[in-house]
Amino acid sequence: MSDSKLEAIIAEIGSLPKGNLTYKVIRGKPRMYLQWYEGGKKINKYVKAKDEPIVLAQIKRRKHLQEELKQLVEDENYGSFVAEDTPHFETKKLRPMEIYKTRVVTGSALKNMCAVAQKYGERDCIAPLKKYLQYGLPGKVCLIYGLRRTGKTTIIFQAMSELPADETAYIKIMTSDTMDQLNDDLRKMINAGIKYVFIDEVTLLGEFIDSASLFSDVYASMGMKIVLSGTDSLGFLLSTGDELYDRAYTIHTTFIPFKEYSRLLGINDVDEYIRYGGTFMMGEKNFDAEELLDESISFRDDESTRRYIDTAIARNIQHSLANYQYGGHFMHLEELYEAGELTGAINRIIEDMNHRFLISVLTKDFVSHDLGTARQLERKKAMLQSRESILEKVDCKEITNRLQKILDIRNKKDMTVEITREHVEEIKSYLHLLDLIVNCPTEQIGVKEPKEQIIFTQPGMRYCQAEALVHVLMKDEIFSKYPIKERQEICEGILREVRGRMLEDIVLLETRKRQSRKKRVFKLLFSIGEIDMVIYDEDNLTCELYEIKHSDKIVEEQYKHLIDEEKCKEIEFNYGEIISRTVLYRGENAVVDGIKYQNVEEYLKESVD
């Protein structure tokens, strides 16, 4: 079969109606509609009754041609060149800026673009991308996805810089682009001798999720190496479960561990990672400086954090669901989406990310957990010092009302759609898919079911919300009557408690990710007290015990549970021999009473097990 036959099939597919058929019941009668996406928007076109047989036949014909096209590029005649080390490309060179319908960059212009990325260090996840470009099998594409500002674009420019510029093309997709235009450009690139194509923000194409197999079944099968990237992580995941099933290598950029963050930014202080970790954009602490309201900064203040949540997470989920199966995958979330309250529900879950996902978190009147914890700590400290607690006189209602406004979260009385357990579970599942949250279960001896412990992989977002709370406290009318020095001490106490709790989460999460599957990592609860982290080797029946402290001082109280005879007996009975007892903290390495003290930054930078 000739190349002209291939082009004829592709041309005929382009001439037939795109999209899928659906029916709506209007005034008790079913009406046929043709649905497709154009410029990122869903289009519904009513099909008259007399035209229904024609449209049905055209849709059937299009699907038949698509299947024929798939078989064509896989049959023996085409397989002879698809499997070759050097793919079959014509050598005719065209002038990109004059012929392409999308924004295509190649040649010397591409070289100049790639040069900018060379000043940055390479992320660890660039290695599998280079492997795909060098050894990837025909018929497979590479997907690079993750939340905004996690290095996706830099990675692809660094990879392109090592490829022949005249055989490489970069396409930046815009919302006005269509799959038809991109398909036309890819055909031209085949003729122009382009072997490597990087398509950025490809999920902006409304038809991407339901048409993604075009890249693997046609162009990748013809020898092209195609790299697709974008911020719409959920859209990529949905496509790998359907259109790109078993046809894609995936690279996820959302999670940036401390070791990699430190190497790339030259930051060795875990507190800086707590404050900004999650993206490669730094921030400023002056909440009132108008000139610092830069939208490119992820976690500079409450407003930039809310913006990031809205654009990088909430819109990610909503855009993917709206474009998957023509909007038919919203399931229980459709009511929230239609009422404009899905973003509010997602925000509520993120605020409570380090706590259990309980339905009461979303349905009860919003109360900040950070404020409640700080109030307890300050009350205890004031009692020990025989003084009145400042936070007891702070107008709590005013603070929580202002915090609600900062976080842009609607209270229960403002919601028109009742939030159910199904809503919570669905939102939670999407946040898991986005790699935004990870469940690191907490165990208790004698209790069969582990207790869910959700850890947030972007610490900067959580910490920024706590800083926003402090900013509100500093401006509270009652609180401002106290001396500035005392106010600052209380506020720093609040943030210190937040950093301590977040440090525990970071160590637990990163240890869990780098351990082999034969080892379990968890927090262990007792009726009184807890072990911050246990690493249990199920094969050798041994365990390692850790306490995690934000302090840089050595205090006997820090390791009391590690030497508690009753607790240790219970642990060894259930998990085997205790082979090490360690306190991770921010000071120098030392050994005290047989307990190893290790610097936590050093621990987080250790090699993967």
Residue 262 belongs to some domain of the structure:
no
Tens digits of residue pLDDT in 333-385:
767 777 777 777 777 666 655 434 323 322 333 345 555 555 565 666 777 77
Q: For the residues 404-419, what does the mean pLDDT come to?
A: 55
Residue 609 belongs to some domain of the structure:
no
- Report residue 99 as tokens: 């012929």
**317 and 459 belong to one structural domain:** yes
Residue 449 belongs to some domain of the structure:
no
Residue 274 belongs to some domain of the structure:
no
Tens digits of residue pLDDT in 257-316:
999 999 998 889 999 999 888 887 644 333 333 333 344 445 555 566 666 666 667 767
How much of the chain, in percent, has pLDDT values that exceed 70?
A: 67
Residue 609 scores a pLDDT above 60: no
Tens digits of residue pLDDT in 423-471:
778 888 888 888 888 888 899 988 888 888 888 888 887 787 677 766 7
* Res 80: pLDDT: 28
As to burial, measured by CB atoms within 10 angstroms (0-12 exposed, 13-18 middle, 19+ buried), residue 286 is exposed
The SS3 assignment for 200 reads strand
Residue the block writes with tokens 């038949």: 64
* Res 371: pLDDT: 54
**313 and 458 belong to one structural domain:** yes
Taking phi over 0 as left and psi of -120 to 50 as alpha, with beta for the rest, 325 belongs to left
Q: Report angle CA 186, 190, 193 to the nearest 5 degrees.
A: 130
Distance of CA 609 to the CA centre of its chain: 24
**244 and 304 belong to one structural domain:** no
Q: Could you tell me the residue range of the domain that residue 44 belongs to?
A: 3-74
**150 and 230 belong to one structural domain:** yes
Residue 263 belongs to some domain of the structure:
no
Count of beta carbons in the 10 Å neighbourhood of residue 509? 21
Contact 391, 378 (CB under 8 A): yes
DSSP code for 246: T
**Consecutive H or E run containing 45:** strand 41-46
**222 and 359 belong to one structural domain:** no
What is the pLDDT confidence band of residue 417, given thresholds at 50, 70 and 90? low
Distances (CA, A) of 513 to 21, 145, 356, 440: 44, 19, 20, 10
DSSP lists the bridge partners of residue 103 as 172
**218 and 144 belong to one structural domain:** yes
**SS3 of the chain: helix, strand, coil, percent, to 5:** 50, 15, 35
- Report residue 16 as tokens: 């037939």
Residue 1 scores a pLDDT above 60: no
What residue type is assigned to position 166 of the chain? D
* Res 521: pLDDT: 94
Tens digits of residue pLDDT in 528-541:
889 999 999 999 99
What is the pLDDT confidence band of residue 142, given thresholds at 50, 70 and 90? very high
Residue 389 scores a pLDDT above 60: yes
Q: Where are the alpha helices (DSSP H) in 334-483?
A: 334-338, 342-351, 359-363, 369-384, 396-407, 421-433, 459-475
Q: Which of 42-51, 145-154, 293-302 has the lowest mean pLDDT?
A: 293-302
Residue 509 scores a pLDDT above 90: yes
Which of 261, 208, 118 minimizes the C-alpha distance to 604? 261
**574 and 463 belong to one structural domain:** no
Contact 120, 252 (CB under 8 A): no
What is the domain-level CATH number for residue 541?
A: 3.40.1350
Count of domains for the chain: 4
Mean pLDDT taken over the chain: 76
* Res 365: pLDDT: 38
Residue 507 belongs to some domain of the structure:
no
- Report residue 205 as tokens: 């194409």
**462 and 586 belong to one structural domain:** no
Tens digits of residue pLDDT in 84-132:
233 334 444 444 444 889 999 999 899 988 988 888 899 999 999 999 9
Tens digits of residue pLDDT in 539-596:
999 999 999 999 999 988 899 999 999 999 999 999 999 999 999 999 999 999 999 9
Contact 605, 262 (CB under 8 A): yes
The SS3 assignment for 428 reads helix
What b/e sequence results for 80-94 when a residue is b if at least 16 CB atoms lie within 10 Å of its CB, and e otherwise? eebeeeebebeeeee
Residue 40 scores a pLDDT above 70: no
**338 and 362 belong to one structural domain:** yes
Q: Which residue has the higher pLDDT, 293 or 514?
A: 514
**Mapped to the 3 state alphabet, what secondary structure does 148-161 carry?**
CCCCHHHHHHHHHC
**135 and 211 belong to one structural domain:** yes
Tens digits of residue pLDDT in 157-180:
999 999 999 999 999 998 888 888
* Res 182: pLDDT: 92
Residue 496 scores a pLDDT above 50: yes
DSSP lists the bridge partners of residue 230 as 145
* Res 75: pLDDT: 46
Domain end marker among 198, 231, 252: 252
* Res 385: pLDDT: 74
What is the domain-level CATH number for residue 210?
A: 3.40.50.300
Q: Where are the alpha helices (DSSP H) in 248-338?
A: 258-265, 270-276, 302-308, 315-323, 334-338
**87 and 57 belong to one structural domain:** no
Helices and strands: H and E segment counts in the chain: 25, 18
Select, from the ranges 14-23, 81-90, 221-230, the one with the highest average predicted confidence (pLDDT): 221-230
- Report residue 557 as tokens: 């109280």
Residue 150 belongs to some domain of the structure:
yes
d(CA 57, CA 35): 16
Domain end marker among 214, 232, 252: 252
**408 and 343 belong to one structural domain:** yes
Distances (CA, A) of 396 to 162, 368, 443, 480: 58, 10, 34, 14
d(CA 295, CA 180): 33
Q: What are φ and ψ of residue 158, in 5° steps?
A: -65, -40
* Res 537: pLDDT: 95
Which of 383, 586, 381, 410 minimizes the C-alpha distance to 500? 586
Domain end marker among 446, 474, 499: 499
Residue 443 belongs to some domain of the structure:
no
Q: For the residues 3-17, what does the mean pLDDT come to?
A: 73
